[in-house]
A and B are shown apart, each in its own frame.
Chain A
Amino acid sequence: MKEFDLFLEMKFTGSVLDAEVILENSFKVGNWMSVPSKKSFIKQLDNYQIKDDVLDVSMLLRGKNGATGNLTVTIDKKERDVLEATIEEGIGRDSTEISV
């Protein structure tokens, strides 16, 4: 069991109508807070626990073609990975595995 502080930040361009961030293939992260000055949405998850040494992060976008989204994953105040996707045929996807 590993425990750490997780900070997620999402930015969009274009008409993204639906965006989901899924951790460990099961937990949909909700109730994000908007930061108008940065034009982004943020989520802080303190003392987040995973069973093994790898954090699975996936991102799903839906909306207008050409719209983009990127997700920055920060663990214990250290930026670890950036997921990026562009919507084609109505959908955009990206995922990563981060060793912690």
Chain B
Amino acid sequence: MKAVILICLLIGSPLLLRGQVLLETQQGDIVTFAPNAVTSSLFGVLNANDQSLSVRFLYGLPNPVGVLPKKYFSFGLKAKPTNGIASLISDGKLSAGANISAAFTKIDLFTCGGKYLDFVTINTSYEAFKYDLFKADTLFKSQIYSKRFKGFNLGLSYNLLVKGAHLFVVSMGYSRKNNISSLKLIDITDQTASYDSSGVNRTLSNKLSARKGTYKEFDRYPIRVSYTYVPPDGGVGVKPGWSLYLKRDSSEDKRIMDLGVLLFFTTSKIGSRMPVVGINLQADDFSDVQRRNNGLLNRLSLGLTSVFPIIE
């Protein structure tokens, strides 16, 4: 239904919308933003790692001295099951969370013609999730409880495209986070036994999935630096591109930096090159500040992102 509303807004737009290509890291953070051709307008991103599905669209303001807009508003909507797609509906209850985002982009902040082109984006998002939690070291009746997470994020990113092929991005901001991904997912089964004088022993069971451990919420000020090689538009066949990023954001320990590389494959559609799949390899806590006797190879993780156009 929400996607239908977005499509309706799109059709009603007075300007020809321009599509964008989004690539995400394993945590669902946008690492590459590449505005694309006028022929595309609405994109969906499926992140297999956090099992989320999102749609975004752009709205451009008229440009008094140029053909294409230089100021854009973009809106995004992401649905993400709390405990993965497998538990999207648990015990008849929908356990999905939502992330709503809005952004403003201005092209040519410091550049004014030539081989350098920059654009700055201010983005904000709000997300809401509900988690079932289990805490062993408390009263029996209080061990299972629910927690609502409401997170607000604000960010600023500066993007510089050099000679049409090299995209440098620096972003920073504020983010409300929690440690839910580090808590172990467990299945809880409550059994109630009753005995009847006829000799029948009946057992009733109630199953629930919950996260075990101490739940925490905290503020973070994420910083990310990335470089992306963008393959040229046009041509035939599959062309690869890649992105290297260093970031500090999602973990509890402020010192932790993650280093990642995202390899993506593009195909050509009406002259535009669009990534269709991205493979993300990330070294968590790259400099090993936690010193948990855990080698770099053990801290590597692999993720998958798929980008697909909804409207062209």
Contact = CB atoms under 8 A, between A and B. Distances in A.
Query: Is the pairing of A and B real?
Result: yes
Contacts of B38: 12, 16, 34, 39, 41
Interface centre among A10, A15, A91 (most CB of B within 10 A): A15
Given A60-B113, A66-B273, A19 B234 contact: no
Contacts of B67: 10, 19-21, 29, 32, 41, 43
B178 interface: no
B116 A66 contact: no
Contacts of A31: 62-64
B240 interface: no
A13 B39 CA distance: 8
B107 to A, nearest CB: 6
Interface in B32-65: 34-39, 62-65
A13 B15 CA distance: 17
Interface residues of B, number: 39
A1 interface: no
B179 to A, nearest CB: 38
Given A64-B34, A64-B165, A87-B164, A30 B115 contact: no
B295 interface: no
4 closest Cβ contacts across the A-B interface? A13-B271, A34-B16, A14-B233, A66-B232
Contacts of B272: 13-15, 67
B7 interface: no
Contacts, number: 132
23 contacts: A12-B37, A12-B39, A14-B36, A15-B35, A15-B273, A17-B35, A18-B70, A28-B65, A30-B63, A31-B64, A32-B63, A39-B38, A43-B67, A63-B161, A64-B34, A65-B233, A66-B235, A67-B37, A68-B271, A89-B163, A89-B164, A90-B163, A90-B164
Contacts of A16: 37-38, 68
A35 B38 CA distance: 11
Interface of A: 10, 12-21, 28-32, 34-36, 39-41, 43, 60, 62-68, 86-91
Interface in B112-168: 113-117, 119, 161-165
B16 A64 contact: no
Contacts of A67: 37, 164, 233-234, 271-272
Nearest to B272: A14
Interface string B7-39: 000000011100000000000000000111111
A66 to B, nearest CB: 3
Contacts of A28: 65-66
B230 interface: yes
B204 interface: no
B86 interface: no
Nearest to B115: A90
A88 B164 contact: yes
A10 B67 CA distance: 8
Nearest to B37: A14
B239 to A, nearest CB: 10
